[in-house]
Structure 1
Amino acid sequence: MNFNFTKYFSALLILFFIFINAKKIDLHSIEEEIIQYNREGKHKLSQKKLSDILLNGDLTKEEEGNILFLMATTYRSVNDYMMCIEYLNRSNSIARQLPPDNILRMKIDYEYAFVYFDNNDYEKAEEAMKRIASKNYVNAFPEDNSYILMQEGYLFMIKKKYNEAEKKYYEAMDIMENANTCNVPIVYVKLMNLYGKRKDIGKAEEAYKESMQISDSCNILKYKILASSEMEKIYKENNLFAKAYLIGSKLDSLRRLENQDVKISEMHIVDKALTEKEQIIKEESDIWKRTVVLIVLILLSVLIAYYFFRKNKKIKKDRLRMKEEIEQMKEELNQYSQNSSDEKILNPELDLLLNSNKLTDRQKDLLILLADGLSNKEIAEKLFISENTVKYHTKNIYNILDIKDRKDFFKKLRNN
């Protein structure tokens, strides 16, 4: 009887644990939190939260793909476009296994267009935008469509196709007015830039006035600064220095207000921390509840650990691998601003390559280690990144410098 009771009780606990872990995470809330962190410049908090979710494991394919996607958007927000694309590729490999109508596949396509555009890779951005157009997405985020149209307008503008650019901007405005009126000032700033190129100061001033009115009504300081900065630039480019001086004074006042907003925001953060601390103290007062929960969790953990150890060792290996990759990613983020500029470069050709404006600082670091003859594994250990990341960066370096492979690279160095 005791044996049967133990057996059934253990089975019940296992089913309970599986049920708890099978519950989906709230992707919508997580995405909103990550967007908020990134807007406030708290990118490390975003990275930590997403890393913790990945480390916890037990994610569905859709959940893992979405978390990797949010990691990509976090990297784009700090202008690390190569890492953004790497995480997008990882997310995309999972998304391709999901149903064709899964919204993640659409979000990834849009993000590719945005990151290529931000990285000034307009050719790939155009390809991504054409792919989006060909799929006729019914986008749950119409603002994304508005941003795509603004990108298309900008591409027309740099080709001096001003009429086509203006048409795209007004299409973007129609969508944005219905989706989020408070973001319409972004479109007006694009129009101001266009009118400045056409030397149509009157229209630029009208767009500036409309942008400021909406920004005032929505109380969005950053849009006021953006519009005023663009108008000041237009006045200066057209030798209207008196008007530039007046709007410059207004811009200085707005920037002072922006600093005040930062201080207020910091105060709100401290207040929130205090509130959370009070909540923790209140929760800790319920000692008996915590004790029961702790006992149940320990029992469940022991049973599940034994179950999965016997049934599936692969899960443990996969989690260990994921943990190592995440830890490497954390180290890379902490070491990102460090470089090897103190190393002495003796080879003239290598020195010439390192002075190229085509390479990023991170790529130059890797190039020095390549020239030292280090293997991919050794480079990964020195830079605190994975071997896959080393291969990815190396391939991009070779493409930029028109080098076939490592043998061709050393041949180029020896010839000088």
Structure 2
Amino acid sequence: MRISPKKFFFFFLVLTTINHFSQEEKTYKDASLKTFIDSLTVLSETTPKLFLHKIDSLKNHVSKDDMPLFLIESNFIKATAYRNLRNFEKVMFHFEKVKELARKHKLRQYIGEVYRELGDEYIDNDMYKKAIENYDKAIAIYKEFGNEAGVIVCTYEGFIENLQGKYQISTKKLKSKLSIFKKAQQGVYMDALSTIAENYMHLGKLDSSYYYVNKLPLHIPDPNNYNYEAHKNYIATRYFISKKNVDSANYYNALIDDFRFEFDHHRRYFLNKIDIAKLTNDITTQVAYTDSLARNSKKENDELRAQNVNDTESLIEYEARVEKEKSKFTISIYSSIALIVFLVGLLIFLIKKFLRHRTKQDEVIAVMQSELLKSLQELDHIKLEKEEKNIDEIAKKINQLSKKYNLTEREIDVLLQITKGLNNKEIAEELFVSVNTIKYHTRNLYEKLDIKKRTEIASKLMYES
């Protein structure tokens, strides 16, 4: 598994904060143990399976005094390892163990780290409400311990708006906090500058975008630095394309080519080459890089599918499964109670009838079975009719909307999948296209239907069609 620079950067911050707490509150008496654990933490990112094996074998060599801190840190880093293995059931299990042990041994600062890690993971999965809930909990604990750096790292205002496409709001919030970020935490300051530049680019203000991206400091010993460099060169390329400066655009795009470690870098490089070729009316180059872009997208989709074969489930799938299990359990309880009440009532009714008419025992049983069977058959029939009616109604309403708003066939396909409750990744897999393609069609749908979020699609289907 290749290390994601963003995840490595956040993981580095987590370890730094943990080490700060352990020095302030409680440290290992055995210094060699601390050194060994620090050396193992890197394995949780690079080779998580090997790390999990080694950390468990270390437990037998830990003294009684060092055991509480060891158990907290080992469970925390186990959760991080399982994040990279995408086994979120075990991630949540080990994070709960950290919180339990932290409360027991009065080391609550570790609970803040748990909430921060969960906030990061929910952000990566576009689950913004849950991300904000966890960041707020982390910030409250950081403030309790006077950890200003932790509070700054958990700042989400402005960043989440960028991910939601609210670029003007994002820019306003981030610019108001730039001076605070610059004094408190260099990594967050660089993220803020980069995000503001990206916002301006999306808003079509390339002069402002180029200004802010050039404020990014260079040559920083940071594992995420190459991403900043690639981002800076991309915006510079777009800026010079807008100015029709072919030489400068080619120069900065060539620098992106030096950082093509991720599919996104490849995609941006190819798109820039196509746009530069348009400036010079170079049809041959346009065709060549359009083909390269298609091959890059196919390769990215193939790798994602190959990776998903070994993955247990995504965080979104895990959360959905947990909710579904809770819902099933609740429904099962209510259904059982309803069935018991029904059977008791039926039994009382039949006993009274038996006493009144002195019906034979086998006749009573036959009546009970007949009544139950009839009720079940009626329920199944009603359910089947309702499902068929819903499917027909949705299909008719989508057809009406497509005519009214002049939807394309692909937009109709995406709209149909959205009504099934699928997210962008699931729709992309269903239609065999990239997630970016689905986002593109979804944005077109939102524009044509004049809506801002998916929940409004149901209203469109119900009222306008």
TM-score when scaled to structure 2? 0.46
Q: Deviations over 1:103-135 (max 9, x none)?
A: 3211111x4432221112335423542454242
Q: Which has the larger radius of gyration?
A: 2
Distance 1:34 1:163, change over 3 A: farther
How many angstroms does 1:69 deviate by?
Answer: 1.6
Q: Is the partner of 1:25 in helix, strand or coil? A: helix
Are 1:231 and 2:265 matched, yes or no? Answer: no
Report deviation, 1:329. 7.2
Gap change, CA 1:159 and 1:104, over 3 Å in 2: same
Equivalent of 1:63 in 100, 103, 110 = 110
User: Are 1:242 and 2:287 counterparts?
Assistant: no
What is the match of residue 49 of structure 2?
none
Matched, 1:25 2:82: no
In structure 2, the CA distance between the partners of 1:98 and 1:207, relative to structure 1 (3 Å rule), is same
In 2: Cα distance, 1:120 partner to 1:100 partner: 31
- Over 3 Å counting, the alpha-carbon distance change for 1:363 and 1:258 in structure 2 is closer
Match of 1:76 in 2: 123
Q: 2:192 aligns with which of 148, 157, 161?
A: 148
Q: Structure 2: how far apart are the matches of 1:170 and 1:253?
A: 32
Compared with structure 1, are the counterparts of its residues 125 and 50 closer, same or farther at alpha carbon in structure 2 (3 Å cutoff)?
farther
CA distance in 2, matches of 1:254, 1:116: 29
Quickly say closer, same or farther: Cα 1:155–1:250, change in 2 above 3 A.
closer
**1:169-180 correspondence to structure 2 within 5 Å:** 169-172=213-216, 174-175=217-218, 178-180=221-223
Judging changes above 3 Å, is the alpha-carbon distance between structure 1 residues 82 and 246 closer, same or farther for their aligned structure 2 residues?
same
State the partner residue of 2:133.
Answer: 86
Of the three residues 305, 316, 331, the one matched with 2:322 is: 331
CA distance in 1, matches of 2:69, 2:235: 46
1:183-232 CA distance string (max 9 Å, x none): 222321222233334443432222111111343xxxx2535413333315
**1:341, 1:153 → 2: CA distance?**
49
What is the aligned partner in structure 2 of residue 195 from structure 1? 240
Unaligned runs of 5+ in 2: 1-62, 312-317, 328-385, 392-396, 402-416, 422-451, 457-461
Check whether the contact 2:267–2:293 (CA below 8 A) recurs between aligned residues: no
Query: Cα 1:169–1:21, aligned 2, differ >3 Å: closer, same or farther?
Result: same
Does the CA-based 8 Å contact 1:81-1:115 persist in structure 2?
yes
Identity of aligned residues (%): 9
Rounded to whole Å, the distance in 1 between the matches of 2:82 and 2:76 is 10
Task: Describe the shift of the 1:195–1:255 C-alpha distance in structure 2 as closer, same or farther (beyond 3 A).
Answer: same
C-alpha distance in 2, partners of 1:68/1:233? 43
Report the counterpart of residue 39 of structure 2 in structure 1: none
Could you tell me how far apart the structure 2 residues matched to 1:106 and 1:27 are?
25
Matching residue's letter, 2:200 = F
Equivalent residues, number: 276
- Seen in structure 2, the aligned counterparts of structure 1 residues 255 and 157 have a Cα distance that, compared at 3 Å, is closer
3-state SS, counterpart of residue 58 of structure 1: helix
Return the offset for 1:68. 1.6
Pairing partner for 1:108 from 139, 154, 160: 154
Distance 1:164 1:364, change over 3 A: same
Q: 2:146 aligns with which of 84, 99, 103?
A: 99
Contact 1:69–1:108 (CA<8 Å) still a contact in 2?
Answer: yes
CA offsets 1:231-283 (integer angstroms, 9 cap, x no match):
1552587565432212223345555665787799799x89xxxxxxxxxxxxx
CA distance in 1, matches of 2:207, 2:253: 19
Alignment partners' CA distance in 1, 2:140 and 2:388: 39
Query: Against the structure 1 CA distance between its residues 242 and 260, is the aligned structure 2 distance closer, same or farther, given a 3 Å change threshold?
Result: same
Matched, 1:182 2:226: yes
Structure-2 separation of matches of 1:50 and 1:96: 25
The aligned runs of 1:349-368 (5 Å cut-off) are none
What's the RMSD between the two structures over aligned residues? Answer: 5.1
* Whole-angstrom CA distance in 2 between matches of 1:49 and 1:112: 30
| Structure 2 residue corresponding to 1:208, chosen from 207, 228, 253 | 253
Q: Is the 8 A contact 2:78 2:94 kept in 1?
A: no
Pair 1:99–1:233, CA change in 2 (3 A): farther
Q: 1:186 & 1:197 partners in 2: Cα distance?
A: 17
Match of 2:230, as an amino acid?
Answer: P
Q: Is the 8 A contact 1:193 1:204 kept in 2?
A: yes
Output the CA distance in 1 between the equivalents of 2:419 and 2:177.
Answer: 31
Quote how far apart the aligned CAs of 1:73 are.
Answer: 1.5
- SS of the aligned residue for 2:288 comes to helix
CA 1:165–1:126: 2 relative to 1, 3 Å = closer
Amino acid at match of 1:98: F
Unaligned runs of at least 5 residues, structure 1: 1-15, 271-326, 346-350, 356-360, 366-396, 402-412
Distance 1:100 1:161 in 2: 37
Q: Aligned pair in 2 of structure 1 residues 120, 69: CA closer, same or farther (>3 Å)?
A: same
Contact 2:152 2:181 in 1 (8 A): no
Query: Does structure 2 retain, via aligned residues, the 8 Å contact 1:146–1:175?
Result: no
